[in-house]
Structure formats: C-alpha cells, structure tokens
Amino acid sequence: MSPPMTSLESETKKISPAKSAGCASSTCGSPASRDAMESAVWEKVKDHPCYSEEAHHYYARMHVAVAPACNIQCNYCNRKYDCANESRPGVVSEKLTPDQAVRKVIAVANDVPQLSVLGIAGPGDACYDWNRTRTTFARVAKQIPDLKLCISTNGLALPDHVAELCDMNVDHVTITINMVDPEVGAEIHPWIFYKHRRYTGVEAARILHERQMLGLEMLTARGILIKINSVMIPGVNDEHLVEVNKWVKERGAFLHNVMPLISDPKHGTHYGLIGRRGPKAMELKALQDRLAGGATLMRHCRQCRADAVGLLGEDRGQDFTLDHIADEVTYDASKRNAYREVVARERGDHVVAKSEALETVKATGSGRSLLVAVASKGGGRVNEHFGHVREFQIYEASPRGISLVGHRKIEQYCLGGWGEDSALEGALAALDGIEVVLCAKIGECPKARLTAAGIRAIDDYGYEHIETAIGTIYAAEFGGGSLAATA
C-alpha cells in the first residue's frame, strides 16, 4: 500500500506535475530563525530558498544564463563549464538572450508553482555583463512583479551598479569572496580585467579585494541583503576563511556560504589539472562548525548550475530548454497563488513540529550530538525511499537544535527495480561519519549493508516532519526510551 501523502504533496500534485525536493539549522540558512529576525528582513527572506533555510523546503529558484562574459579568472573555473561560484561544473545547456530568458521565466512560472526567485548567476559575471542582466530583470519584473530578483557576482564591477540594483528592487546580492589578503588572492585569481587593463598577481587580487569590500559596504548601507560565497580550497584559503568570515560579518553580510572546491581534471580548470583536491565532507563541516558565532552560515547550498530550475537539490533545467517553450507564452499566476496558500498552512504546522521536537531532545538531558542522513524530496518531511535518493540531507541533533548541516550526493541505488551494488558502495563512502539514515522505506539488503557499516537505517517515520522523526530517535538513543516504544 502506498504511504499517505501530506497535504502539501497532494496539493502540489494537483497544482502541477512538478517534482518536489527539499530540507533545516539554528546556525544556518536564516539567522537562527524567524524569531531572531526583524520582521522587515523576514519579509524579504521568507520565500527565498537560499536566504531562508526554512523556505528552501517549499520554494524554488531559477537561473537564466544571460551573462556569459567575465572580467576575472578563478583557478577553479573553466568557462566551458558553469561558473563555479554558483554552479556545479557542467556546461550550461544554452545561453539565452534577454528575450529568450523572459519566455523561459514565464514558462517556468506557469508550470512550477514553487518558483519564487529569479537569479542571474552567470555563467560569467552578472555585473560585468550588465546590459543583459539589467534588460532581463527589467522585462521580467514587468511581467511577474512578485518574483524576487537575485544576482551573483565576483564583485569587481559591483560598485558601478549599486544604484541601478536598488532602483530595480534587487534586494538579494551574492558576492564571491575567497580572500581578504591579496597574497592569498593571488593564488586563487591569476588575473583581472579592470578599467580596460589586465592586472595580474597580488596587484590584481588587491584591486579585486578593495572592490569587493566597497560593493559590500555600499549594498549593506542601502539595506540590500548580501550573501557571501566562499570556495574552500584546502591548502590555499581553508584557514584564511576564518578571517574572511570576520571581515564580512563586520561589514554587515547577512549570510556566509562556504562551499567546497569542486576539482576534477576533466573540467579543465587550473586546480583540476594540477590535482588540487576539494575538501572532504567532514573537513567542510569542521570548518563550518568553527565559523559558527561569526557571520551566520548558510549550509543548504547545492552549488547549482547557472541554468538551474527547481527546488534546491533538484534540477529541472532540461525540462525548460528553448525547444520545450512556445514562441508566445502568457503568464498565468493561478498555480503560484494557489500553492502559496497551501504552503502558508503547512509552514505553520512545521514550525510547531520543530519546536516540539527540540523540547523532546532537551528533555533527555543529554549533551550528545547525532548526525542523521535524511531522505526527503521536499516539504520538510521524511518522504523518499532509500533506493531513490540522489542526495541525503544531513542533520545534526543536539540540545542546541536540530539543524541541517549539509548534504551528501550519491548515485541512485535502485534502478528499474534492482539495487546497484556499486552505487551502494558509493553511498557508504558518502555517508562517512553518519550514525543514522532516515528514509520512508528501505529494503532488507541495503539495510543489512548499512548496519554492517555501523549505520542504522530507520524507516519507521515515513512522511513525518524531519525534526519530529529525529527528535524521537534522539530521545530513544540518549533518553533511555526505545525506538519500538516511541515509533
């Protein structure tokens, strides 16, 4: 028998055939919680899946790849691939003109009711390729005025466009800042192109640093919410990111998102070719844990493509290439409006469930922490079968909270009804340090393999809120209860 659907799932299915995906933190996403935020700020972030961890369970972003040109070189980027600042490597399927981008945004908005944000994240630099960025935003804002506008930039050209960003109501800007010391910067950014001249080495990094800080200060002075993305490059800037975190906090950054270097020789990047490795999952987590207490950390980033579409963690971009989109498209707000009403109710229930789960954890009196990998396809619930998982959401439970602290990607284990042994081996490696896997259903064979590897697989809480399930497991583990009694 199929498990029961939550109201959000059934409503989403009624509204659209779109798939869902989704995940939470006291030190991640939104600064602690909606309670800790001024209401004006909460209004700005509450439906932005990157700026609010809570929102990313429910709302989706899309990127349009209208800005291919870039004015700097990063050693982790090869422009045949996506901008590594905001994307996992992989070619952008197609670059768009502003007109094509507007058609695509309307088509997505008509079909993906979760859509709340339009971002321009390359594949080059949104501020350097400014005319295309500005034209796209202006045209979309006329058609769908309630869509939030968001850009990502390396910051070099940012100060030149702050006034226009304000005029266009772009109230979310991401700056990629990998260093505050030009000596470190020179190891990451070999050259920049600035004021019709090419600069190299420490001089280039110094100019970039000064422009980044200027842009950051100008934007915060105008009330625009800034997220800082930093690429963690072991042996180059991993220790230095502690300093970066302090600097951006002092200058009013809203969030700091530390992302792992993605490095592979086949991407053709400098770091890939010289064998510079990215951090392991537990190395990234250790640095992020050290940064807690500084600028608030985002920990639910998925390093998405410059043409990504959908909830974070899923990519529906291939469903919306130009050959899938009619020449004439008219915006229809009905699905998005209906979805918002459903989400408002569901979010209220989720907030109550989270708070009750935290009380359960605290009542144990234990100081322990528990790392749990959760199979979820959205709505903040345990609602995916183990065999279908492509990404686990990693939660840490402790008396401080039940928080999303990252994600781990794996190959799908079950294909065509059969489990793939090699995929299971990969999943076991990806689950390094994890104590519990929580999913809607798991077969006996993978369950036994996980158990043998010291990981407990639990499928007793299918379709529960994630925090409710984790709180119950934590209490059973550390509070003297038993899972059988509490399930």
Contact positions vs ligand CLF (CB under 6 A) = 50, 61, 63, 86, 117, 119, 121, 150, 152, 172, 174, 227, 257, 301-304, 312
Tell me how many degrees the CA angle 74-80-85 measures, rounded to the nearest 5.
40
Burial (0-12, 13-18, 19+ Cβ within 10 Å), 30: buried
Q: Does 72 bind ligand SF4 (CB under 6 A)?
A: yes
| Window 443-472: contact mask with ligand SF4 (x via CB under 6 A) | ------------------------------
Q: Does 307 bind ligand SF4 (CB under 6 A)?
A: no
Q: Does 225 bind ligand SF4 (CB under 6 A)?
A: no
Beta-bridge partners for 173: 151, 226
Q: Does 387 bind ligand SF4 (CB under 6 A)?
A: no
Residues 102-131 touching ligand SF4, rule: CB under 6 A, are 122, 124-125
User: What's the CA gap between 19 and 63, in Å, rounded?
Assistant: 18
- Supply φ then ψ for residue 478, to 5 degrees: -115, -5
Choice between 22 and 68, CB closer to ligand SF4: 68
* Pairs from 333-338 (Cβ < 8 Å, separation ≥ 24): 333/109, 333/144, 335/15, 335/16, 335/110, 335/111, 335/113, 336/109, 336/113, 336/115, 338/11, 338/15, 338/113
Closest CA to 404 of 234, 258, 314, 285: 285
Choice between 76 and 339, CB closer to ligand SF4: 76
Choices 73-81, 280-288, 372-380, 381-389 (CB under 6 A): range interacting with ligand SF4: 73-81
Q: Does 73 bind ligand SF4 (CB under 6 A)?
A: yes
Choice between 78 and 116, CB closer to ligand SF4: 78
User: What's the CA gap between 211 and 261, in Å, rounded?
Assistant: 23
Q: Does 185 bind ligand SF4 (CB under 6 A)?
A: no
CB of 193 to ligand SF4, least distance (A): 10
Of these, 45, 64, 74, 343, which contacts ligand SF4 (CB under 6 A)? 74
CB of 459 to ligand SF4, least distance (A): 40
Choice between 28 and 424, CB closer to ligand CLF: 28
Q: Does 475 bind ligand SF4 (CB under 6 A)?
A: no
Q: Would strands 401-409 and 456-458 be described as parallel, antiparallel, or unpaired?
A: unpaired
Binding-site partner at residue 304 among ligand SF4, ligand CLF, none, CB < 5 to 8 Å by type: ligand CLF
DSSP code at position 55: G
Choice between 88 and 139, CB closer to ligand SF4: 88
Q: Does 77 bind ligand SF4 (CB under 6 A)?
A: yes
Choice between 256 and 385, CB closer to ligand CLF: 256
Binding-site partner at residue 124 among ligand SF4, ligand CLF, none, CB < 5 to 8 Å by type: ligand SF4
Q: Tell me which residue has its CB nearest to ligand SF4.
A: 77
Choices 68-76, 108-116, 177-185, 333-341 (CB under 6 A): range interacting with ligand SF4: 68-76
- Supply φ then ψ for residue 384, to 5 degrees: -125, 140
Neighbours of 169 (CB within 10 A): 12
CB of 120 to ligand CLF, least distance (A): 7
Binding-site partner at residue 54 among ligand CLF, ligand SF4, none, CB < 5 to 8 Å by type: none
Task: Tell me, by CB under 6 A, how many residues bind ligand SF4.
Answer: 13
User: What's the CA gap between 359 and 354, in Å, rounded?
Assistant: 9
Binding-site partner at residue 150 among ligand CLF, ligand SF4, none, CB < 5 to 8 Å by type: ligand CLF
Of these, 25, 52, 116, 154, which contacts ligand SF4 (CB under 6 A)? 154
Closest CA to 54 of 378, 291, 396: 378
User: What's the CA gap between 98 and 369, in Å, rounded?
Assistant: 48
User: What's the CA gap between 472 and 487, in Å, rounded?
Assistant: 7
Neighbours of 10 (CB within 10 A): 12
Element (H, E) at 98: helix 98-111
* Strand positions, DSSP E, 184-286: 191-194, 197-200, 225-232, 255-260
Q: What SS3 state is found at 314? A: coil
Which residues, including other chains, have CB under 8 Å from residue 47's CB and lie 6 or more apart? 55, 58, 59, 116, 117, 148
Closest CA to 49 of 24, 18, 84: 24
CB of 69 to ligand SF4, least distance (A): 9
Closest CA to 259 of 271, 240, 236, 241: 241
CB of 189 to ligand SF4, least distance (A): 8
CB of 4 to ligand CLF, least distance (A): 30
Choice between 15 and 208, CB closer to ligand SF4: 208
Binding-site partner at residue 122 among ligand SF4, ligand CLF, none, CB < 5 to 8 Å by type: ligand SF4
CB of 317 to ligand SF4, least distance (A): 18
Choices 74-82, 162-170, 283-291, 354-362 (CB under 6 A): range interacting with ligand SF4: 74-82
Residues in contact with ligand SF4 by the rule CB under 6 A = 70, 72-74, 77, 79, 83-85, 122, 124-125, 154
